[in-house]
């Protein structure tokens, strides 16, 4: 990457949260009234149910990483337990995976997902080329993993964005350099990518933004977007109305250890 593509964290962090949208109920769209938590963190379960009531699933198959135990804050547990879906769960914590007596039953595996191995992992675990739902939440190389996924086309992609940094530029961490753990001396918010980055990436990959639930963004393949009868979300509206800042992550803006630069990924 060139130096021109790097932005120092001091130009990325949010020092005055009051100037940004922190309304966790926004946007007020056709999806917001369907928010419901069964196993997920926020209201993703209800939104996912509603999406697939409009766009019927192809094969009732999902992939989720990190999958943790297949239940806690999962975006796919409700589909598996209550909707008769099946799929693949990948989790980087080996001890957690091995502690699960039903790991084979729920297809939970210990794997560190990266941009370099994502396609090989999908082939290893026989993921269908066209499946229904991909959920990405690894607090690190989320952008690069989706960017490098080839030949697989999930209908819906749910990805966790970084809600603690500015959204005017499309920004991601330097690959393999995420650092948010207190044990390393970090009190920063250096992980993942912002909504702007994922919006641009989705456009390039043939997806449109459907909605957000706080810091989780929902994208759908272009050819099925019109089934919802809504107008496409422009880049201007994405920046001004769909980015919800988390006060918690915005306040974690003290970068005591490197890296200190973000990457403009547009």
Closest CA to 221 of 128, 152, 126, 144: 152
For β-strands 86-91 and 61-65, DSSP reports them as: parallel
Average pLDDT, the chain: 94
What topology is assigned to 3-264 in CATH? Rossmann fold (3.40.50)
Cα separation, 149 vs 118, in Å, equals: 6
Closest CA to 235 of 203, 258, 265, 206: 203
Provide the residue ranges of all domains of the chain, joining segments of one domain with +: 3-264
The confidence score (pLDDT) of residue 45 equals 97
User: Which residue carries 């001890």 as its tokens?
Assistant: 95
Q: Is the pLDDT confidence value at 183 over 60?
A: no
Query: Where is 31: in which H helix or E strand?
Result: none
pLDDT tens for each residue of 43-93: 999 999 999 999 999 999 999 998 788 999 999 999 999 999 999 999 999
Total length of the chain: 266
Question: DSSP per residue over 138-163, as a string?
Answer: -SSSHHHHHHT--S---SEEEEE--T
Residue with the bigger pLDDT between 3 and 42: it is: 42
The confidence score (pLDDT) of residue 67 equals 77
Q: Is the pLDDT confidence value at 126 over 70?
A: yes
The confidence score (pLDDT) of residue 185 equals 61
What's the pTM value of the predicted model, to 2 decimals?
A: 0.96
Question: Could you tell me what percent of the chain has a pLDDT over 90?
Answer: 87
Query: Where is 54: in which H helix or E strand?
Result: helix 44-54
Cα separation, 228 vs 160, in Å, equals: 22
Residue 67 makes CB contacts below 8 A (sequence gap 6+) with 74, 76, 89, 90, 91, 108
Check: CB of residue 37 under 8 Å from CB of residue 46: yes
CA angle 68, 70, 74 (to 5 degrees): 85
Give residue 168's Cα distance to chain centre.
Answer: 19
């Amino acid at each position: 990457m060139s130096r021109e593509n790097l932005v120092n964290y001091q130009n990325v962090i949010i020092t005055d949260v009051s100037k940004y949208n922190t309304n966790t109920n926004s946007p007020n769209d056709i999806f917001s009234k369907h928010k419901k938590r069964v196993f997920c963190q926020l209201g993703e379960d209800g939104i996912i149910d509603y999406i697939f009531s409009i766009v019927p699933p192809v094969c009732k198959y999902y992939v989720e990483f990190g999958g943790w135990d297949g239940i806690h804050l999962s975006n796919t547990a409700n589909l598996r337990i209550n909707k008769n879906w099946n799929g693949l769960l990948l989790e980087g914590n080996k001890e957690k995976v091995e502690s699960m007596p039903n790991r084979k039953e729920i297809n939970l595996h210990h794997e560190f997902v990266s941009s370099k191995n994502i396609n090989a992992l999908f082939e290893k675990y026989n993921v269908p080329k066209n499946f229904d739902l991909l959920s990405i939440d690894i607090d690190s190389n989320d952008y690069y993993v989706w960017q490098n996924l080839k030949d697989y086309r999930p209908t819906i992609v749910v990805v966790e964005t970084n809600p603690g940094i500015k959204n005017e530029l499309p920004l991601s961490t330097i690959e393999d350099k995420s650092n948010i753990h207190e044990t390393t001396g970090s009190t920063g918010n250096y992980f993942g990518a912002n909504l702007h980055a994922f919006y641009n990436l989705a456009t390039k990959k043939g997806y449109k933004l459907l909605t957000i639930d706080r810091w989780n963004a929902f994208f759908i393949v272009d050819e099925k977007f019109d089934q919802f009868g809504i107008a496409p979300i422009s880049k201007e509206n994405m920046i001004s109305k769909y980015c919800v800042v988390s006060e918690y992550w915005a306040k974690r803006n003290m970068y005591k250890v490197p890296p200190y630069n973000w990457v403009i990924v547009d």
